[in-house]
Amino acid sequence: MDRVSLRFNGAIIVTMIIALMFALVPLPIAIEAWRPDWIALTLIYWAITLPKQISLLLAWFTGLLIDTLYGTILGQHALGFTIVLYFAIRFSERINPQIIWQQIFMISLVLSTYLLINLWLLGVTGNSPNTWAYWLSLFGSILIWPMWQKFLNFFVVTRKHL
């Protein structure tokens, strides 16, 4: 059995800041719709790797920060990120951190739920997207997941435990 711990105190916060920076980087219009949801992917990673050390409050406050920076309804992303983290923590006991296909299936379910919640909130406010391109971020997130996971693995230490 492997024991996983943080490489240093504050590693979760550092990775959330990195994800936030990636979320704010402007992209060309041609690939903007494919932008992975870096923050949700980071929350999912920590839920799979260290479910007892990640907090729903972190997801909530990060969502409020994104709502403020994007100028969306206050609480829209906060609700979505909190639900993402909750479901990811609930599924983490059933997911093997070494089996990528299980992770991709879980990410698909969790991010689809997140996108549906955001779509519902956009529809309620009259800002509903008119195209199927809204769902491309899900595919972008799935495509980038293996590389993002490798990057985030730098922030944890795995020890063999008998």
What is the number of domains present in the chain?
1
Of 46-50, 104-108, 130-134, 149-153, the poorest mean pLDDT is in 130-134
Confidence at residue 128, expressed as pLDDT on a 0 to 100 scale: 83
% pLDDT > 70, the chain = 98
- pLDDT over 60 at 35, yes or no: yes
Beta bridge partner(s), residue 3:
159
Summarize pLDDT for 115-137 with one digit per residue, the tens: 999 999 988 988 888 788 999 99
The single-letter DSSP state of residue 3 is E
For 45, the token pair is: 């990673």
Q: Exposure pattern of 121-160 as b/e (b: 16+ CB <10 Å)?
A: bbeeeeeeeeeeeebebbebbbebbeebbeebeebbeeee
d(C-alpha 81, C-alpha 1), whole Å: 30
> How many other C-beta atoms can be found within 10 angstroms of the C-beta atom of residue 66?
19
Average pLDDT estimate for 131-155: 94
d(C-alpha 122, C-alpha 157), whole Å: 40
Summarize pLDDT for 47-77 with one digit per residue, the tens: 999 999 999 999 999 999 999 999 989 999 9
d(C-alpha 113, C-alpha 96), whole Å: 21
Q: Which residue has the tokens 């494919």?
A: 34
Q: At 110, which CATH number?
A: 1.10.1760
Length of the chain: 162
The single-letter DSSP state of residue 6 is E
The single-letter DSSP state of residue 134 is G
Average pLDDT estimate for 95-112: 89
The predicted model scores a pTM of 0.93
Confidence at residue 161, expressed as pLDDT on a 0 to 100 scale: 65
Q: What is the domain range of residue 42? A: 2-160
d(C-alpha 74, C-alpha 123), whole Å: 15
Confidence at residue 162, expressed as pLDDT on a 0 to 100 scale: 57
| Phi, psi for residue 52 in degrees, rounded to 5 | -85, -10
